[in-house]
A and B are shown apart, each in its own frame.
Chain A
Amino acid sequence: MPTPPTPTPVIETRGLARTYPLPAGPVHAVRGIDLTVDRGEILGFLGPNGAGKTTTLRMLTTLLPPSGGEATVAGHDLRHDSAGVRRRIGYVAQSGGLDPACSVREELVTQGRLHRLPRAEARERAGELARDLGLTPLLDRPTRALSGGQRRRVEIALGLINRPEVVFLDEPTTGLDPGSRAELWDLVRRIRAEHGTTVFLTTHYLDEADALADRIVVVDAGVIVAEGTPADLKARHAGDPAASLQDAFLAITGRSATADEPVAI
Chain B
Amino acid sequence: MTLLADTGVVFGRYLRATLRSKTNLFFGMLQPLLFLALFGPLLTKLSLGVSGSSWQALVPGVLIQLALLGGSYVGLGLLMDRNLGIIDRMRVTPVDPLALLLGRVLRDVVQLVVQSVLLVLLGLAFGLRAPLAGVLIGLLFVAVLSAALSALSYGLAMNVRTPPEFAAIANTAGMPLMLLSGLLLPMSLAPGWLDGASHAVPFRYTVDAVRQTFLGHYANGTVALGAAITLALAALCLALGARLFRRAER
Of all chain B residues, which has the CB nearest A115?
Answer: B93
The 3 closest A-B pairs by CB, nearest first: A97-B89, A95-B85, A97-B85
Interface residues on chain B, number (Cβ under 8 Å): 25
Q: Is the C-beta of B169 less than 8 angstroms from some C-beta in chain A?
A: no
- Among listed B16-24, B42-50, B144-152, interface-contacting one: B16-24
Is A114 a contact partner of B88 (Cβ separation < 8 A)?
Answer: no
Assuming the contacts A96-B85, A102-B17, A106-B16, asked whether A89 and B9 have C-beta atoms less than 8 A apart, the reply is no
Residues from chain A with Cβ under 8 Å of B83 in the complex:
95
Measured between beta carbons, the chain B residues less than 8 angstroms from A100 are 84
Roughly how many angstroms separate A158 CA and B83 CA in the complex, as a whole number? 18
Chain A nearest CB: distance from B90 CB in Å? 6
* B5 contacts A by Cβ under 8 Å: yes
CA distance A87 to B94 in the complex (A): 5
Q: Are A63 and B91 in contact (CB under 8 A)?
A: yes
For residue A64, CB closer than 8 A to chain B, the reply is: yes
CA–CA, A113 and B83, complex, Å: 22
Residue B86 CB within 8 A of the other chain: yes
Are B21's CB and A101's CB within 8 A? Answer: yes
Taking A89-B92, A116-B2 as contacts, is the C-beta distance between A97 and B20 under 8 angstroms?
no
What's the Cα separation between A220 and B6 when bound, in Å?
40
Are A62 and B95 within 8 A (Cβ)?
A: no
Question: Which residues of A are at the interface with B, using a C-beta cutoff of 8 A?
Answer: 61-65, 83, 86-87, 89-91, 93-102, 106, 110-111, 113-116, 158, 162, 265
Bound Cα distance A155, B22 (Å): 27
Q: In the complex, which residues of chain A have a beta carbon less than 8 angstroms from the beta carbon of B5?
A: 116
Chain A residues contacting B84 (CB-CB under 8 Å) are 95-100
> Inside 8 A of A99's CB, which chain B residues have their CB?
17, 81, 84, 86
Task: Write out the residue numbers on chain B whose beta carbons fall within 8 Å of the beta carbon of A111.
Answer: 89, 93
Selected from A64, A96, A98, A114, the residue in CB contact (under 8 A) with B93 is A114
**Nearest chain A CB to B23 CB, angstrom units:** 12
CA distance A115 to B98 in the complex (A): 15
Quick one: closest B residue to A162, CB to CB?
Answer: B93
Distance in angstroms between the alpha carbons of A91 and B92 in the assembled complex: 7
A142's nearest neighbour on chain B, judged by CB, is: B20
Q: Which residue of A lies closest to B10 (CB)?
A: A114
Please determine whether A101 and B88 come into contact, CB atoms closer than 8 angstroms. no
Using a CB-CB cutoff of 8 Å, which residues 72-124 of chain B contact chain A?
Answer: 81, 83-86, 88-95
Quote the shortest CB–CB distance from A103 to chain B (angstroms): 10
- A119 to chain B: closest residue by CB: B9
How far does the alpha carbon of A102 sit from the alpha carbon of B6 in the complex, in Å?
19
| B165 beta carbon closer than 8 Å to chain A | no
Does residue B13 face the partner (Cβ distance < 8 Å to A)? yes
B249→A65 contact, CB < 8 A: yes
Tell me whether B89 and A91 are in contact (CB under 8 A).
Answer: yes
Using Cβ atoms and an 8 Å threshold, which residues of chain B touch A94?
A: 85
Q: Are A158 and B89 in contact (CB under 8 A)?
A: yes
Cα–Cα, bound, A147→B160 (Å) = 31
Roughly how many angstroms separate A114 CA and B12 CA in the complex, as a whole number?
Answer: 11
Residues of B within 8 A of A113 (CB): 9
Cβ contacts A to B, 17 pairs, < 8 Å: A62-B92, A86-B93, A86-B94, A87-B94, A91-B92, A93-B85, A96-B84, A97-B88, A99-B86, A106-B13, A110-B9, A111-B89, A114-B9, A114-B90, A114-B95, A116-B5, A116-B95
CB B82 to nearest CB in A, in angstroms, measures 10
Question: Who on chain B is nearest to A113 by CB?
Answer: B9
